Amino acid sequence: MSDDGLPNDAKGIKLMIHALIDGELDAAAALALERRIAADPALAAEHARIVALRAAVTRLPRPDVSDAFRARIAALGATATAQPAQDEPERDELVEPRPGIPSARQDQPRGDQLRGTTRRDAQTRPSQTRALPRARRFGSFDWRAMAASIMISAVLASGATQWVMFNSASDGFAAAVASGHRRSLLAASPIDIVSSDRHTVKPWLDARIGVSPPAPDLAQDGFALIGGRVEVISGRPVPALVYRHREHLITLVAEPQQGGSTTAPEDLSSGGFSMVHWSDGAFSYWAISDMERPELDDFVARFRKAAV
Amino acid sequence: MAERFNEVVLPHLGDALALARWLTGNAADAEDVVQDACIKAHAGIAGYAGGNSRAWLLTIVRNTSYTWMSRNRPRSIMAVGDLGDLDDMAAAHGTSLPDEDGPEASLIAKADTAALEAAIAALPQPFRETLVLRDINGLSYREISAMLGVAMGTVMSRLARARNLLMSELGSAP
């Protein structure tokens, strides 16, 4: 019997080993459990078995998302928005062209909705936008006719923020900031240090990476500082502050500059995220959020004013 | 709205298909289920309030899978039995490890894909879905507990039991 806070029954300790491997234990419990495992060959064997099994399951081939399938789902978003369902949102109602609308007119709302390439494509193929027979299981809208253009919309609009940003002039840094922000939205918590108090956030960042950017609390302006985290970008740790505006999170990455110049805010938005970059000589800032651009501009203006 | 749908749903189609494939048992049905689920996701996109979009979509996929199966395969749902049986069944496995020697880790590591897939497919459904959500979809205990509407402790014991069943299955196979 040991006094390390862990369960002492075999079943309880086994559950803890699973939790350890799943990354669900806090540091103290993990440390105590690792000591137990090191001291007990039976636990060590169990640990090794679970690790091996997890690795094997993770290696299993995953189903391919075929281009056709992805296009079909992307079309769902585009088409259904163009033609809002009248009744309950069931399968056919959402994707069927509504009866009674002359086929020539069906192109217009779709083209508008899908913008650019899609519009051109849809208009050059009026004959194909006529509904196919109703027999197909998934309704009869003409996704084939639009598949090519929809694929383009889908690729640009979906997980392709990185792709777009890698190809823009602002290099991989913006892409890394964007992926960091996206990852933080998926993580259990978007912040490592939770605090609305900049006197807590700044020392925390300073203690970890020796850098501490201005962290004004803009709560009175509607942008509350909720904490910070450390991002690793281009192999270097950089501080990131997290602000909340209504239900939106804003990640503000501040890259230290040495003798840097001052630059005005520059718009790098793409792929559904708004992103603004500027420098004040001491730091180069990247603000990213899923808010609308004008709201992010408002944040940037208030931050710059407060950070002086 | 279309952009939000693309942002929230499209990045997780692979995970959605993987979950549906393991819940329904085959890849062709998985596409049908995920398509239905995406229609529901689209209709309900306004209800997505931020947070883990993968967990949000997978919750819809799971519900859609069971609706789909009750419509298309009522018998497979019946086969699950009630949770009382499940606990008895699991208890038998729960006590056999680790006091008794389990299979060597190296034996598990060498298991071939087909054997492992067959073993997962043979798991009782509550164990299978917990294992898939954790080890294939990568959700946290807390997210799984919220999705299944069961306590964290239940998630942990189902996961441990699922893994024990797989380990003894793979360990006993030559």
Q: Can you give the residue range of the structural domain that contains B103?
A: 80-172
| pLDDT confidence of residue A33 | 92
Query: Which of A198, A164, A176 minimizes the C-alpha distance to A284?
Result: A176
User: Which residues of chain B are within 8 Å of residue A246 when distances are taken between CB atoms?
Assistant: none
Mind listing the pLDDT tens digit for each residue in A14-46? 999 999 999 888 888 888 999 999 999 999 999
| pLDDT confidence of residue B73 | 75
Q: Which residues contact A251 (CB under 8 A, 6 or more apart)?
A: A177, A180, A181, A184, A190, A240, A241, A242, A287, A288, A289
Q: Taking a C-beta distance cutoff of 8 angstroms, is the pair B147, B155 a contact?
A: no
Q: Which residues contact A221 (CB under 8 A, 6 or more apart)?
A: A302
User: Which residues of chain A are within 8 Å of residue B108 when distances are taken between CB atoms?
Assistant: 49, 52-53, 56
Nearest-neighbour CA in chain A from B75: distance (Å)? 23
* Least reliable range by pLDDT among A110-114, A296-300, B169-173: A110-114
Domain boundary among B76, B98, B114: B76
Same domain, B89 and B59: no
Mind listing the pLDDT tens digit for each residue in A218-276? 888 888 888 888 888 877 888 899 998 888 889 999 988 876 677 888 887 777 788 88
Nearest-angstrom CA–CA distance, B121 and A104: 50
Same domain, B87 and B159: yes
How many residue pairs from chains A and B have C-beta atoms closer than 8 A?
167
Contact B141/A76, CB-based, under 8 Å? Answer: no
Same domain, B118 and B59: no
| Cβ atoms within 10 Å, residue A63 | 20
Interface residue A54 vs chain B (CB under 8 A): yes
Nearest-neighbour CA in chain B from A212: distance (Å)? 27
Mind listing the pLDDT tens digit for each residue in A118-145? 333 434 343 433 333 434 444 444 555 5
| pLDDT confidence of residue A209 | 79
Question: How many domains does one find in chain B?
Answer: 2
Same domain, B143 and B99: yes
Same domain, B117 and B167: yes
Q: Residue B104 maps to which CATH number?
A: 1.10.10.10
Same domain, B165 and B88: yes
Range among A71-75, A158-162, B23-27, B56-60 with highest mean pLDDT value: B56-60
Q: Which residue has the higher pLDDT, A187 or B96?
A: A187
Dihedral, A280, A281, A285, A291 alpha carbons, nearest 10 = 10
DSSP per-residue codes, A228-285: EEEEEETTEEEEEEEEEETTEEEEEEEEE-SSPPEEEEEE--BTTBEEEEEEESSEEE
pTM beyond cutoff 0.80: no
Q: Where are the alpha helices (DSSP H) in chain A?
A: 10-21, 27-39, 41-59, 67-82, 91-95, 103-114, 116-124, 143-157, 161-166, 171-186, 198-209, 293-307
Chain B interface test: which of A73, A153, A182 (most B C-beta within 10 Å): A73
Q: Which residue has the tokens 């540091």?
A: A27
Same domain, B70 and B93: no
Same domain, B99 and B29: no
Chain B interface test: which of A16, A20, A21, A49 (most B C-beta within 10 Å): A49
Measured in whole angstroms, how far is the alpha carbon of residue A51 from the centre of its chain?
Answer: 29
Q: In DSSP terms, which residues pair with A256 in a beta bridge?
A: A283
Same domain, B86 and B157: yes
Confidence of residue B165 (pLDDT cuts 50, 70, 90): very high
Q: Taking a C-beta distance cutoff of 8 angstroms, is the pair A145, A120 a contact?
A: no
Q: Which residue has the higher pLDDT, A180 or A143?
A: A180
Q: What percent of chain A has pLDDT over 90?
A: 16
Supply the ipTM of this predicted assembly: 0.85
Same domain, B91 and B158: yes
Same domain, B63 and B85: no
Q: Is the pLDDT of residue A163 over 50?
A: no
Confidence of residue B76 (pLDDT cuts 50, 70, 90): low
Domain boundary among B45, B76, B107: B76
Range among A88-97, A144-153, B39-48, B141-150 with highest mean pLDDT value: B141-150
